[in-house]
């Protein structure tokens, strides 16, 4: 039995090579099972199964996903075969959008700067103002890809910080840069397979605002980065659904177009060898939500955050008093860090703002700090970037049994490369 939800009648297959050549090509492999190739994915650097191919197959009528997996598993040309799993967003609640916000570092942004407003505890924040005294980001900084529901790239508090594909001429119906996507000016819609990643849902724009809403522009909110290059990679449709194939296309695009950091506020589904390989082979740091199932991920694994990779960070949500909100998953060994993820105020599509909660909102705080550090120190490897973020985190007793080393994100510490608060909530 396959435990997680998946798209019926489809599989993701990875074939092998023998170092010199592929054992089969995708079309003859599909033909052998009466299937058709729906998509192929290129992840060059893993070297795990030299010369093979990763593909999405549509199975013939009458063959179930379970039957296909059972058959293909015994095929010597197959490295692995798995369902095309279905994934969901990791946000909990959604407030009403509001256009009212007089300036940038508004009191709603307790995660950036907590002085005890609105029932919070002073200091339970990421020390953003201290970090901004060191660095505020750059418009030519390393690219941060938001792999989500898309981004409202016209939002007045985001537009200046959205990545632009310089090789692509907008709106001419031509794939000018030859990357396989027509008119992909600000990113890719991996779900509909078009060049338009506009957000019709809200989740992705909210995440983008936390990473890099334009700072000091007199409107809305301020992101962790005042200036940034944010790439919109839309894997979810506007109702918030997606599957493994769209996710693979999204990771493939972000990698190909040079993203150095990816922000992944989604999960569910099952353990996917294909996704693990995609993340592992992508030379970026991948920030991943721990999930909102009230669960201990050490016992009940959550994906993608539980993949054991050198280049990922799993993120739990903290609240304005440095407590764990009930919904947030945790894991003393499988969750690396906590970050603000309850009552987070950020951008909404159409130029507005809204409050949302979830490990979905914690993840872009970490992705934002990763972007800020990468902007200040562009030569760091993903592993070095990860080390700085974890070393620079506050080490809090309240988080010790819940995440690795009791880490709660600190932007100032990440820029300095060492912890600035060992236990700031002690009374
Ligand atoms: Ca603090
Ligand atoms: Ca293109
Ligand atoms: Ca074009
Ligand atoms: Ca702003």
Q: What is the CATH number of the domain that holds 69?
A: 3.30.70
- Tell me, in angstroms, the distance from the centre of ligand 4 to residue 222's CA: 5
Of all ligands present, the nearest one to the C-alpha of 181 is: 2
Question: Which residues lie near ion ligand 4 (Cβ < 5 Å)?
Answer: 104, 157, 213-214, 217, 220
296: DSSP letter: B
Provide the b/e sequence for 223-236 (b: ≥16 CB within 10 Å): bbbbbbbbbbbbbb
* Across 301-305, average pLDDT: 97
Question: Which residues lie near ion ligand 2 (Cβ < 5 Å)?
Answer: 168, 175, 177, 179, 181, 184
One domain for residues 64 and 212: no
Spatial contact of 230 and 236, defined as CB atoms under 8 Å apart: no
- Tell me, in angstroms, the distance from the centre of ligand 4 to residue 365's CA: 16
Q: 148 an active-site residue? A: yes
One domain for residues 65 and 158: no
Q: Please give the Cα distance from 108 to 110 (Å, whole number).
A: 6
337-340 and 312-318 beta bridge pairing: parallel
| pLDDT given at position 100 | 31
Q: Which of 203, 206, 227, 412 is catalytic?
A: 203
Q: Which of 148, 152, 336, 343 is catalytic?
A: 148
- Tell me, in angstroms, the distance from the centre of ligand 2 to residue 188's CA: 9
pLDDT confidence band for 20 (50 / 70 / 90): low
C-beta neighbour count of 416 within 10 angstroms: 17
One domain for residues 123 and 37: no
Q: Please give the Cα distance from 11 to 66 (Å, whole number).
A: 9
Last residue of a domain, one of 34, 66, 85: 85
One domain for residues 129 and 61: no
- Tell me, in angstroms, the distance from the centre of ligand 4 to residue 223's CA: 7
Spatial contact of 369 and 388, defined as CB atoms under 8 Å apart: no
Question: Does residue 262 fall inside a structural domain?
Answer: yes
**Mean of the per-residue pLDDT values for the chain?**
92
Give 113's contacts (C-beta < 8 A, 6+ positions apart): 105, 125, 128, 129
Question: Does residue 178 fall inside a structural domain?
Answer: yes
Q: Please give the Cα distance from 295 to 364 (Å, whole number).
A: 21
- Tell me, in angstroms, the distance from the centre of ligand 1 to residue 123's CA: 4
| pLDDT given at position 5 | 86
Q: Is the pLDDT of residue 94 over 60?
A: no
Question: Does residue 153 fall inside a structural domain?
Answer: yes
| pLDDT given at position 353 | 96
Tell me, what CATH number does 345's domain have? 3.40.50.200
Q: Closest by alpha carbon to 234, among 149, 361, 334, 338? A: 149
Pairwise pLDDT comparison (93 vs 316), residue with the higher score? 316
| Structural domains in the chain (count) | 2
- Tell me, in angstroms, the distance from the centre of ligand 4 to residue 105's CA: 8
Q: Please give the Cα distance from 59 to 9 (Å, whole number).
A: 5
One domain for residues 283 and 384: yes
Of all ligands present, the nearest one to the C-alpha of 171 is: 3
Q: Is the pLDDT of residue 419 over 60?
A: yes
Q: 203 an active-site residue? A: yes
Spatial contact of 177 and 168, defined as CB atoms under 8 Å apart: yes
Please give the torsion angle defined by the CA atoms of residues 182, 184, 187 and 191, in that order, rounded to the nearest 10 degrees: -30
Question: Does residue 99 fall inside a structural domain?
Answer: no
- Tell me, in angstroms, the distance from the centre of ligand 4 to residue 113's CA: 15
One domain for residues 52 and 197: no
Q: Which of 205, 265, 360, 375 is catalytic?
A: 360
One domain for residues 271 and 332: yes
Q: Closest by alpha carbon to 313, among 297, 335, 291, 295? A: 335
Q: Which two tokens stand for residue 203?
A: 């989740």
Question: Does residue 397 fall inside a structural domain?
Answer: yes
Question: Does residue 193 fall inside a structural domain?
Answer: yes
pLDDT confidence band for 426 (50 / 70 / 90): very low
- Tell me, in angstroms, the distance from the centre of ligand 1 to residue 398's CA: 14
One domain for residues 160 and 35: no
One domain for residues 72 and 214: no
Pairwise pLDDT comparison (126 vs 426), residue with the higher score? 126
One domain for residues 223 and 264: yes
C-beta neighbour count of 149 within 10 angstroms: 30
Question: Which residues lie near ion ligand 3 (Cβ < 5 Å)?
Answer: 168-169, 172, 174, 176, 183
* Across 175-181, average pLDDT: 97
Q: Is 398 left (phi over 0), alpha (psi -120 to 50) or beta?
A: alpha
Spatial contact of 336 and 361, defined as CB atoms under 8 Å apart: no
- Determine which of 43-47, 56-60, 193-197, 230-234 has the lowest per-residue pLDDT on average: 43-47
Question: Does residue 186 fall inside a structural domain?
Answer: yes
Of all ligands present, the nearest one to the C-alpha of 116 is: 1
- Tell me, in angstroms, the distance from the centre of ligand 3 to residue 391's CA: 43
One domain for residues 199 and 345: yes
Question: Does residue 310 fall inside a structural domain?
Answer: yes
One domain for residues 262 and 363: yes
**Domain that residue 23 falls in:** 6-85
């Amino acid at each position: 039995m396959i435990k997680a939800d998946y798209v019926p009648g489809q599989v993701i297959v990875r074939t092998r090579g023998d170092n010199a050549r592929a054992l089969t090509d995708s079309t003859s492999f599909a033909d052998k099972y009466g299937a058709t190739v729906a998509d192929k994915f290129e992840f060059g650097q893993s070297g795990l199964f030299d010369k093979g191919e990763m593909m999405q197959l549509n199975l013939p009528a009458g063959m179930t996903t379970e039957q296909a997996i059972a058959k293909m598993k015994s095929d010597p040309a197959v490295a692995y075969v798995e369902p095309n799993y279905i994934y969901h967003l990791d946000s909990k609640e959604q407030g009403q959008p509001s256009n009212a916000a007089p300036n940038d570092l508004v009191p709603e942004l307790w995660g950036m700067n907590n002085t005890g407003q609105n029932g919070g505890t002073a200091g339970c924040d990421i020390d953003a103002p201290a970090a901004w005294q060191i660095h505020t980001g750059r418009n030519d900084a390393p690219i941060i890809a938001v792999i989500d529901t898309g981004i409202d790239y016209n939002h007045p508090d985001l537009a200046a910080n959205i990545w632009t594909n310089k090789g692509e001429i907008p709106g001419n119906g031509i794939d000018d840069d030859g990357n396989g996507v027509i008119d992909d000016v600000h990113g890719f819609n991996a779900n509909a397979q078009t060049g338009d990643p506009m957000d019709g849902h809200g989740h992705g724009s909210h995440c983008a605002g936390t990473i890099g809403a334009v700072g000091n522009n007199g409107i809305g909110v301020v992101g962790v980065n005042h200036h940034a290059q944010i790439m919109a990679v839309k894997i979810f449709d506007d109702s918030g659904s997606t599957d493994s194939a769209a996710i693979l296309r999204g990771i493939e695009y972000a990698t190909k177009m040079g993203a150095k950091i990816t922000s992944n506020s989604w999960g569910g589904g099952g353990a996917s060898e294909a996704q693990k390989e995609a993340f592992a082979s992508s030379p970026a740091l991948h920030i991943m939500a721990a999930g909102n199932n009230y669960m201990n991920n050490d016992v009940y694994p959550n994906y993608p955050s539980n993949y054991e990779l050198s280049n990922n960070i799993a993120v739990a949500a903290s609240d304005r008093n440095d407590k764990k909100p009930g919904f947030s998953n945790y894991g003393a060994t499988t969750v690396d860090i906590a970050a603000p993820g309850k009552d987070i105020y950020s951008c909404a599509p159409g130029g507005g703002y809204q409050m949302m909660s979830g490990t979905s909102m914690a993840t872009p705080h970490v992705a934002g700090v990763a972007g800020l550090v990468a902007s200040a120190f562009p030569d760091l490897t993903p592993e070095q970037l990860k080390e700085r973020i974890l070393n620079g985190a506050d080490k809090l007793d309240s988080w010790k049994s819940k995440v690795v080393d009791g880490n709660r994100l600190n932007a100032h510490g990440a820029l300095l490369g060492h912890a600035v608060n060992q236990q700031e909530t002690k009374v």
